[in-house]
Structure 1
Amino acid sequence: MANLIVQSAVKEQLDQMNVSADFYDSLDDEVADLLADAARRAEDNDRKTVQSRDL
């Protein structure tokens, strides 16, 4: 699976929180699902461009 997130950016966003290694894998899976759903919505609306409204 491709890494869709940047771990250093996540860590920076979470500031003072510790982040477990498995969190990144779960977050990556969630992002992949979100992207797949957005792509499906765009296709369902006969578009090849994914837009913010597809989220």
Structure 2
Amino acid sequence: MADLIVKAAVKEELDDRNVSSDFYEALNEEVEELLDDAARRAEGNDRKTVQPRDL
């Protein structure tokens, strides 16, 4: 699985909170699933372009 998130950006967004190392893997899996679902929705609507409404 490719890394879809930038760990430094996630850490920066969460400010002063601690982030466990396995959080990044779980977040990456969620993003991957979100992208797969969006791609299927676009395909189901006969589009090759994934749009915000597919989320």
TM-score bracket relative to the smaller structure: over 0.9
Amino acid of the residue matched to residue 40 of structure 1? R
Q: Does 1:52 align with 2:52?
A: yes
Secondary structure of the equivalent of 2:3?
coil
Amino acid of the residue matched to residue 13 of structure 1? E
Report 1:7-22 matches (<5 A).
Answer: 7-22=7-22
Q: TM-score, normalised by structure 1?
A: 0.99
Q: TM-score, normalised by structure 2?
A: 0.99
Correspondence for 2:29: 29
Structure 1: 5+ residue stretches without partners: none
RMSD of the alignment, in Å?
A: 0.2
Partner Cα separation in structure 1 for residue 54 and residue 12 of structure 2: 27
After the TM superposition, which parts of structure 1 deviate over 2 Å for at least 4 consecutive aligned residues?
none
* Paired residues, number: 55
Post-superposition Cα deviations, 1:12-35, rounded to whole Å, max 9, x if no partner, equal 000010000000000000000000
**Cα displacement (A) at 1:8:** 0.1
**Cα displacement (A) at 1:5:** 0.1
Structure 2: 5+ residue stretches without partners: none
